[in-house]
Chains A and B, each alone.
Chain A
Amino acid sequence: MAAAPEAGTAPLIGAPAARTDAIAFPRLAGWRRPFRRVLSLGLFFVAWHVATKWDLDLYVRFQNIPAPAEVLEEAVALFGGAAFYVHILASLERIWLGFAIATVLGVGLGLLIGWFRFAEDTLFPPIELLRPIPAVAWVPLSIMLWPTELSSIVFITTLGAFFPIVLNTIHGVEGIDRQLVRAATSLGAGRAAIFREVVIPGALPSIVTGLSVGMGVSWICLISAEMISGQFGVGYFTWVAYGIVKYAQIVVGMLVIGVLGMLSSALIRLVGARCMPWLPRHMKDGA
């Protein structure tokens, strides 16, 4: 018991010292942190290179793993040809469609469920029932349900994005300050005006969070679905590369998936910030 408070105070003593250091050398801190980050990235690639060149076997085995240089070479070759772009475009089309449908359904239903008790009672129970099922578990059923490969994969992608979007929208609506609703009614707002002027903008920060999470989940679902069924797409490409022993292509596929996921999340954040010009300062105040 006596050791616990000591363990608690140790970092407290350390923290102010670190802070005064940063104040004393502000310029040093200015370049030091980016430098450390680049160094960390460099070390990662060196470790990858060493592990693959020396065919390390440390329970995890690196014998079949391509080296960074091989991956780079393969990437240059793939981006030089046309076939790889077909896969990328197929994935982007599915993500775009699935995400757009999930956004319309998720935000629309979320606003209704969050605001109207009748909608909550009638629409929410099936959503709660289906929510725990991972979207990937829908793949076999989806293939039977939908006539084309595109529609079945888009369905999986939609499912993945839908739940975080609808739940965050509901959460956002329920979190709206009742005082703002009162203020609006005392300024002459009717039901429709309250929905338009208070409920929708009030839920927007939460909706954007939902879209951001939903985008991440829809990529997971898309790649899984493409790996299981399909003839195009980055997920399909990556899985096939394993089958035909083109190991460098696996890593290129993985990296492309990562970059596309990152870019689409950045896009959501950018659009979100544009739609909510009141937020940045506000959040700084809150922090």
Chain B
Amino acid sequence: MRGDATGRIEITDLGIAFGRNGRTVEAVRRFTLMTTPGEFVALLGPSGCGKTTLLNAVAGFVQPTAGQLIVDGERVARPGADRGMVFQQHSLFPWKTVLGNVEFGLKMRGVGKSERTSRARDYLNLVGLSGFERAYPGELSGGMQQRVGIARALVNRPRVLLMDEPFGALDAQTRLTMQELLLGVWREVRTTVLFVTHDIDEALFLADRVAVMTARPGQIRDLVTMKLGRPRAAEVIATPEFMALKARVLAQVREEGARTLAGSRR
């Protein structure tokens, strides 16, 4: 649907701090990451490591306290349709039909009714939800809701797609189906994806590069390049190459997880 790949994210020395109960909590410290257009990058780390905060900063929901955040040459100042967001769950408008949800971004841009309906249908087709246009989100399963969420973000043709543990609330079987579906969709739209997860298999299976994060304040501890070929199928998880990378990442994640636990005890 989009020939040219865009979405160069340049994050330089980014710091994000919050004031909480009169104290300053540093969520992210001196975080640096560059993506090439069309790349799939996973942010992997223990819960509370600041990876969601970082994603929220790229989305424009959170203002960084230090450093630079640039997407395709423009400084990120506020939320915008050029950076599509897929949330963990419950982010569809319950009062809008599936079609109404997917059309939303186009409606905001003043696209006419028939034009936006036809474009929304294209993206619903892409995520395999043709025929569900008139359903309400409450009538769909969790996996289907997330597919609507993906179509809703992509219909705006964002430079980058930000995904915040989008499959975290799904059962293992559905999660696998959704991961494969996402890779299929991504091959079509060729947008940059920044994907937050705490699931090692998920990160390694999906991404071109996996940024393993430290405990809070979040920094990159290791940047793993996945040289697995594409298209990938679920079977790749069982290859020795995959297992070796998983062992390496697992050791790091466990260490950081232990550190988070120690930090929270204090």
| A binding-site residues for B, Cβ under 8 Å | 177, 179-180, 182-190, 193, 197-198, 201-202, 204, 276-278, 281-282, 285
Query: When chains A and B are docked, how far (Å) is the Cα of A259 from the Cα of B7?
Result: 64
Our pick among A183, A189, A204, A278 for the contact of B91 (Cβ within 8 Å) is A183
Interchain CA distance A198-B95 in the complex, whole Å = 9
Interchain residue pairs A-B with the least CB separation, the first 6: A282-B138, A188-B81, A188-B108, A185-B79, A201-B95, A187-B105
A198 to B138, CA, bound (A): 16
Known: A183-B91, A276-B95. A197 touches B104 (CB 8 A): yes
Q: Tell me, rounded to whole Å, the shortest Cβ–Cβ distance linking A137 to chain B.
A: 39
Pair A183/B87 contact, Cβ less than 8 Å: yes
User: B108 near A204 (CB under 8 angstroms)?
Assistant: no
A-facing residues in B223-263 (Cβ within 8 Å) = none
Given A187-B156, A285-B138, A177-B90 contact (CB < 8 Å): yes
Q: List, sorted by A's number, 9 A–B pairs whose CB atoms are closer than 8 Å.
A: A182-B91, A183-B85, A187-B156, A188-B80, A188-B108, A189-B108, A201-B96, A281-B138, A282-B94
Which residues of B130-171 are within 8 A (CB) of A?
136-139, 152-153, 156
Interface residues of B in 79-128 (CB under 8 A from A): 79-81, 83-85, 87, 90-96, 104-105, 108-109
Bound CA span A190–B91, Å: 17
Q: A193-B108, A197-B104, A201-B93 are in contact. Are A186 and B84 (CB under 8 A)?
A: yes
Give the complex CA separation of A182 and B61 in angstroms: 7
The answer to the question of B60 belonging to the interface, with a C-beta cut-off of 8 Å to chain A, is yes
**CB proximity to A under 8 Å, residues B171-210:** none
- Asked whether B136 lies within 8 Å of A281 as measured between CB atoms, the reply is yes
B interface secondary structure, majority: loop
User: Which of B61, B84, B138: most chain A Cβ within 10 A?
Assistant: B138
A187 and B108 contacting across the interface, CB-CB below 8 Å: yes
Minimum C-beta distance from A152 to chain B (A): 39
**Is the pair A202, B95 in contact by a Cβ cutoff of 8 Å?**
yes
Q: How far is the CB of B159 from chain A (nearest CB, A)?
A: 13
Taking CB as reference atom, which chain B residue is nearest A190?
B108
Q: How far is the CA of A183 from the CA of B91 in the complex (A)?
A: 7
Contact of B60 among A186, A189, A202, A278 (CB under 8 A): A186
Pick from A182, A187, A278: contact of B138, CB below 8 A: A278
CA distance in complex: A283, B93 (Å): 15
In this complex, the interface size class of chain B, counting residues with CB under 8 Å from chain A, is: 20 to 34
**Residue B59, interface by CB 8 Å:** yes
Whole-angstrom CA separation of A150 from B264 in the bound complex: 66
B residues near A (Cβ < 8 Å) are: 59-61, 78-81, 83-85, 87, 90-96, 104-105, 108-109, 136-139, 152-153, 156
Interchain CA distance A179-B91 in the complex, whole Å: 6
**What chain A residues lie within 8 Å of B60 (beta carbons)?**
185-186
Q: Is the CB of B95 within 8 A of A204?
A: yes
Nearest CB on B from A275, distance (A): 9
CB-contact partner of A188 in B91, B92, B96, B156, under 8 A: B156
Q: Is B79 in contact with A182, judged by CB distance below 8 angstroms?
A: yes
A179: which B residues are within 8 A, CB to CB?
87, 90-91
B150 nearest CB across to chain A (Å)? 13
Contact of B95 among A187, A278, A285 (CB under 8 A): A278
Residue in chain B with minimal CB distance to A185: B79
A186 and B93 contacting across the interface, CB-CB below 8 Å: no
Q: A128 CA to B61 CA in the complex, in Å?
A: 34
The answer to whether A184 and B104 have CB atoms under 8 Å apart is yes
A186 touches B95 (CB 8 A): no
Contact A188 B138, beta carbon cutoff 8 Å: no
Of the candidates A188, A190, A198, A282, which one forms a contact with B93 in the assembled complex, judged by CB atoms under 8 Å apart?
A: A198
Residue of B78, B109, B136 near A282 (CB, 8 A) is B136
- Roughly how many angstroms separate A234 CA and B152 CA in the complex, as a whole number? 54
Q: Complex Cα distance A276/B96, Å?
A: 10
Of all chain A residues, the one with the shortest Cβ separation from B158 is A186
Return chain B residues, CB-CB under 8 Å to A185.
Answer: 60-61, 78-79
Cα A28 to Cα B80 with chains together (Å): 60
Contacts of A184 on B, CB cut-off 8 Å?
93, 104
| B94 to chain A: closest residue by CB | A278
Determine which residue in B80, B93, B152 has the highest number of CB atoms from chain A within 10 A of its CB, and name it. B93
Give the residues in chain B near A201, CB-CB below 8 Å: 93, 95-96
Which residues of A lie under 8 Å from residue B94 when comparing CB positions?
278, 282
12 A-B pairs besides A197-B93, A281-B136 with CB distance below 8 A are A182-B79, A185-B79, A186-B61, A186-B81, A187-B104, A187-B105, A188-B81, A188-B109, A189-B108, A201-B95, A281-B138, A282-B136
